[in-house]
Amino acid sequence: MSDVSLDNLDQHTADLLNAVAALSSLEELVTRESSLVGKRSVLSSLQKSLGGLTPDERRDAGARLQESRRRVTEALEARRVDLEAQERRATLDADRLDLGDVVGPTVSSPLEPGHPGIIAVTQLALEEVFVGMGFRVEDGPEVESDWYNFEALNMPPAHPARGMWDTFYLEMGEPETVVLRTHTSPTQIHLMERAVRDDALPIHAVMPGRCFRRDTPDARHLAAFHQIEGIVVDRDITFADLAGTIDAFTRAYFGPDIDSRLRPGYFPFTEPSAEFEITCTICRGEGCRTCSQTGWIELGGCGMIDPAVFAAVGIDSTTWSGFAFGFGIDRCAQMRHEIADMRALIDNDLRFVRQFS
Ligand code: PHE
């Protein structure tokens, strides 16, 4: 630095302004503040030297000194504001959570629109096939009373057939009176009751929805799954109408090379009852592990509506007859898309989910 003298005031001022500009942190600014503009500064020493000057010289030099002090002080305050802003930004950056590392690129990359999941897509496709065959689509509750889930379906309390469904009971009302529906068949009862009340027979309807069973999930079962139920209540309906409907559906949904067949079965609410099977879509009927080498996969149950069910809802079974069927939507998706393990449907693994967009 040049000699401390008023003659060098411009040089001193320039040196001070450079020193201010070079301050690199608030901490440095605070430490050096008094040596730049305070008592220990060049400007204060010069101030003291004014005493040795004539009054005229003093006025002139005093004014120049004041101007220098103003410029340096202003520069220092501006530098303080800058450094404060810089340090606040650095703190915010350091504190910000980098979610990119936590959830992967899906969320941190530009937003991808979602799409319906495979079950929703399958349900819509099934509805479309049935609507094309003249069925309406209806909805029913997931929480049912014992009456709708069992009793009206010809299973009085303690009927052994109730054991066909491992049931979740809700803690509502009397014990074991409110259930999560174990199948979509209770929706049949709602529909028939409504049709009787509104004098709206015949009925041709399908009823898709979620069902629940106390099953341990495995490759072919989930505890919360989806079924689609169908009923026809009309005049002169026979078993041939049922078999024809199942066959027409199978070909429309799975393709012309997939056959269906009915095998004798038992359900308390249909008589006669059958289980319906389709050609295994994995081996096309050759026999493989999925179909236990039979070439056939069971899709659901069906049968002619039992007169006891008609009696429960007040339909005259001498005038009306009908059939019902019910099968798993998840099982259809599994067959159609050759999904080896059904648990993939609920894992939410994006690599799986994205295949069905
Ligand atoms: N509700 C039966 C089940 O879940 C399927 C079924 C529906 C059978 C309609 C006959 C008639 O297993």
Q: Are 287 and 247 within 8 A, CB to CB?
A: no
For the chain, give every domain's residue range: 9-102, 118-356
The Å distance, Cα 240 to ligand 1 centre, comes to 18
In ligand 1, which atom is closest to the CA atom of 227? Answer: 4
The Å distance, Cα 184 to ligand 1 centre, comes to 8
Cα–Cα distance measured from residue 225 to residue 243, given in angstroms and rounded to the nearest whole number: 25
Count the neighbouring beta carbons within 10 Å of the beta carbon of residue 245. Answer: 21
Q: What is the pLDDT of residues 85-114, one digit of tens each?
A: 998 898 888 887 666 555 555 555 677 788
In percent, how much of the chain has pLDDT > 90?
Answer: 64
Does the CB atom of residue 185 touch ligand 1 within 6 A? yes
Does the CB atom of residue 325 touch ligand 1 within 6 A? yes
Does the CB atom of residue 302 touch ligand 1 within 6 A? yes
Pick from 72, 17, 21: which is nearest to 44 by CA? 72
In ligand 1, which atom is closest to the CA atom of 326? Answer: 7
pLDDT for 102: 55
pLDDT for 107: 54
The Å distance, Cα 44 to ligand 1 centre, comes to 99
Does the CB atom of residue 304 touch ligand 1 within 6 A? no
pLDDT for 46: 87
Q: What is the pLDDT of residues 210-226, one digit of tens each?
A: 999 998 988 888 999 99
Does the CB atom of residue 303 touch ligand 1 within 6 A? yes
Which of 132-141, 275-284, 290-299, 331-340 tops mean pLDDT? 132-141
The Å distance, Cα 186 to ligand 1 centre, comes to 10
Q: Are 326 and 206 within 8 A, CB to CB?
A: no
pLDDT for 129: 97
- CA-nearest residue for atom 10, ligand 1, is 302
Residues across the chain: 357
In ligand 1, which atom is closest to the CA atom of 185? Answer: 1
- CA-nearest residue for atom 12, ligand 1, is 301
pLDDT for 316: 98
What pLDDT band is residue 1 in, cutting at 50, 70 and 90?
very low
The Å distance, Cα 187 to ligand 1 centre, comes to 11
Q: Which of the listed residues 148, 181, 183 should we mutate to test ligand 1's pocket, taking the one with most ligand atoms within 8 A of CB? A: 183
- CA-nearest residue for atom 7, ligand 1, is 326
- Residue 162, pLDDT > 90, answer no
- CATH class of the region 118-356: alpha beta
Does the CB atom of residue 270 touch ligand 1 within 6 A? yes
The Å distance, Cα 310 to ligand 1 centre, comes to 16
* Verdict on whether the full-model pTM lies above 0.85: no
Does the CB atom of residue 17 touch ligand 1 within 6 A? no
